[in-house]
């Protein structure tokens, strides 16, 4: 499904047009807006990535809905001055680099550790892939995993080797499975910790074992820790891999990434950080310079500096997130056919499994939007249980969001069971034309057939 004009696109761009994780090809509440005949202007005015329409609640993409601390807003406004806007700022101010190194990555800046500013954690993903991946390299990632880990690597010519997250591995990367997935072509292991979408964290032993495997095979470890600010489970401990650097366990092959969107509720700043050995960061710095230049806006940097020092904000927002999770877990426990495979340890994302309902996650997504809750089903996050999983963002500051979800979920399931959305979801995937879409269509087909027979 490439138009004649699109033949002029690069192979990279062409590969995205029909990618199952390419935006528009996977199902979200946005597809549900069209299916329900709702107004884009009212629900997502200006094309934002979360539902902001009155009366609606967003549990979809991973913005932290608590929003920024006041300290960060004040710093942002104070820094929005003529002299800060009239120059090209540095990639990161020295004080910000120091703070990020200590506070986020747990390692001192120095001859063997450097921090570079990037456009959000996503910028860190892009520059890590661009700086290390060549055609034919293999990258180990989890399935499910964050949307962009797969397509972003593939547009660099790399091949994905997926490790399924499941009950047996505790929804974490198992070093044994990582070792088994390595071939002579392996170049990188993506360690997203906490893991988007389950919110699980790796143990220290697992991290050391993965680092050791990577050292043995001359690989890069990409450690994305952007969801580590809020400890949802008071007993859990998340450890940045950079902080495990010792003479006996050198972490110079680890690239670390974080950002301001999740922990501090400021995705619009587009401020993030990429860190590692200066020899490696130099390659990424030059890559970045040639593509988007090295500068990160000053107001955003000052806001980041203030936010990361605001301990009270993190404490309060963690309390809100824990409250929300407790409410959500009660809802899931009392909804037949729905389970939460594992309780999250950190961050504010979790997965629910709706396979016991007999209908697809995509149909339930439409039903949920019909009852004013926006969510994203699993097909954008991977192949595993792509018709069964729904990812939920549980950061909303208003408990009314979770009350609404409690009311909406059984209604959405029952509407989906009536078959109200089956044909429209089927049509969405027929148009997307992806293999993954076919799996979902195959799940809907017998019910569509039965419905047609009844008519």
Ligand X SMILES: Cc1ncc(COP(=O)(O)O)c(C=O)c1O
Give the residue from 178, 174, 170, 176 showing the smallest Cα distance to 139: 178
Shortest distance, position 256 Cβ to ligand X, whole Å: 12
Distance (Å, whole) CA 358 – CA 413:
9
382 binds ligand X (CB under 6 A): no
> Looking at 114-122, 135-143, 155-163, 306-314, which segment touches ligand X (CB under 6 A)?
114-122
Token pair, residue 388, equals 């069964």
Return the residue nearest ligand X (CB atom): 120
Of the pair 267, 377, the CB lying nearest ligand X is at: 267
Of the pair 60, 175, the CB lying nearest ligand X is at: 60
Among 128, 226, 365, 370, binds ligand X (CB under 6 A): 226
Cis peptide before 172 (omega within 30 of 0): no
> Looking at 15-23, 117-125, 331-339, 350-358, which segment touches ligand X (CB under 6 A)?
117-125
59 binds ligand X (CB under 6 A): no
Among 129, 146, 389, 428, binds ligand X (CB under 6 A): 146
Give the residue from 279, 314, 288, 298 showing the smallest Cα distance to 103: 314
238 binds ligand X (CB under 6 A): no
62 binds ligand X (CB under 6 A): yes
Using CB under 6 A, which residues numbered 197 to 216 contact ligand X? none
116 binds ligand X (CB under 6 A): no
Shortest distance, position 120 Cβ to ligand X, whole Å: 2
Beta bridge partner(s), residue 351: 391
- Asked if 231 and 238 touch (Cβ cutoff 8 Å), the reply is yes
Distance (Å, whole) CA 24 – CA 31:
8
Shortest distance, position 278 Cβ to ligand X, whole Å: 23
Of the pair 187, 391, the CB lying nearest ligand X is at: 391
Of the pair 346, 421, the CB lying nearest ligand X is at: 346
Of the pair 222, 402, the CB lying nearest ligand X is at: 222
Number of residues interacting with ligand X: please give it, by CB under 6 A: 13
115 binds ligand X (CB under 6 A): no
Shortest distance, position 24 Cβ to ligand X, whole Å: 17
Of the pair 28, 122, the CB lying nearest ligand X is at: 122
Among 192, 303, 304, 308, binds ligand X (CB under 6 A): 192
Of the pair 349, 413, the CB lying nearest ligand X is at: 349
224 binds ligand X (CB under 6 A): yes
Using CB under 6 A, which residues numbered 259 to 318 contact ligand X? 259, 261, 267, 272
Give the residue from 74, 155, 450, 91 showing the smallest Cα distance to 295: 91
Sequence-distant contacts of 430-434: CB under 8 A, at least 24 apart: 432/18, 432/20, 432/24, 432/25, 432/26, 433/1, 433/18, 434/18, 434/19, 434/20, 434/25
Beta bridge partner(s), residue 222: 190, 255
Of the pair 239, 359, the CB lying nearest ligand X is at: 239
Shortest distance, position 270 Cβ to ligand X, whole Å: 7
Residues in the chain: 455
Of the pair 178, 191, the CB lying nearest ligand X is at: 191
Among 21, 71, 122, 238, binds ligand X (CB under 6 A): 122
Shortest distance, position 201 Cβ to ligand X, whole Å: 13
Shortest distance, position 123 Cβ to ligand X, whole Å: 6
Q: Which residues bind ligand X (CB under 6 A)?
A: 62, 120-122, 146, 192, 196, 224, 226, 259, 261, 267, 272
């Amino acid at each position: 499904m490439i138009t004649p004009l699109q033949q002029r696109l690069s192979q990279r761009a062409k590969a995205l047009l029909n990618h199952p994780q390419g935006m528009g090809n996977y199902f979200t509440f946005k597809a549900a807006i069209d299916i329900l005949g709702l107004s884009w202007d009212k629900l997502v005015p200006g094309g934002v990535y979360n539902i902001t329409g009155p009366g609606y609640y967003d549990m979809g993409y991973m913005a932290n809905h608590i929003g920024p601390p006041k300290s960060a807003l004040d710093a942002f406004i104070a820094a929005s001055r003529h002299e800060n806007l009239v120059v090209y700022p540095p990639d990161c101010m020295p004080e910000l680099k120091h703070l990020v190194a200590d506070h986020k990555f747990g390692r001192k800046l120095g001859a063997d550790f450097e921090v570079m500013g990037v456009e959000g954690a996503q910028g860190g993903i892009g520059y890590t892939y661009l700086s290390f991946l060549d055609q034919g390299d293999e990258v180990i990632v989890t399935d499910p995993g964050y949307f962009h880990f797969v397509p972003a690597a593939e547009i660099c010519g790399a091949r994905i080797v997926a490790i399924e997250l499941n009950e047996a591995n505790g929804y974490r990367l198992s070093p044994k499975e990582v070792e088994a997935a390595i071939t002579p072509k392996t170049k990188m292991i993506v360690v997203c910790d906490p893991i988007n979408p389950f919110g699980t964290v790796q143990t220290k032993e697992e991290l050391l074992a993965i680092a050791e495997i990577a050292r043995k095979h001359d690989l890069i470890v990409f450690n994305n820790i952007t969801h580590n600010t809020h400890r949802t489970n008071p007993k859990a401990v998340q450890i940045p891999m950079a902080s495990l650097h010792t003479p006996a366990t050198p972490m110079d092959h680890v690239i670390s990434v974080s950002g301001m969107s999740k922990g501090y509720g400021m995705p619009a700043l587009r401020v993030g950080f990429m860190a590692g050995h200066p020899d490696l960061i130099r390659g990424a710095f030059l890559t970045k310079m040639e593509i988007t230049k090295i500068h990160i806006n000053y107001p955003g940097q000052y806001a980041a500096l203030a936010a990361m020092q605001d301990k009270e904000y993190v404490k309060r927002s963690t309390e809100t997130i824990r409250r929300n999770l407790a409410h959500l877990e009660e809802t899931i426990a009392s909804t037949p056919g729905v389970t939460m495979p594992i309780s999250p340890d950190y961050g504010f994302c979790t997965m629910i499994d709706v396979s016991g309902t007999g209908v697809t996650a995509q149909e339930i997504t439409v039903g949920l939007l019909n009852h004013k809750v926006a969510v994203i089903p699993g097909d954008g996050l991977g192949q595993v249980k792509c018709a069964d999983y729904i990812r939920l963002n549980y950061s909303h500051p208003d408990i009314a969001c979770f009350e609404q979800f409690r009311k909406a979920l059984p209604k959405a399931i029952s509407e989906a069971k009536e078959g109200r959305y089956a044909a429209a979801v089927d049509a969405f995937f027929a148009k997307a034309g992806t293999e993954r879409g076919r799996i979902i269509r195959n799940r809907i087909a017998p019910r569509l057939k039965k419905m047609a027979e009844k008519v």
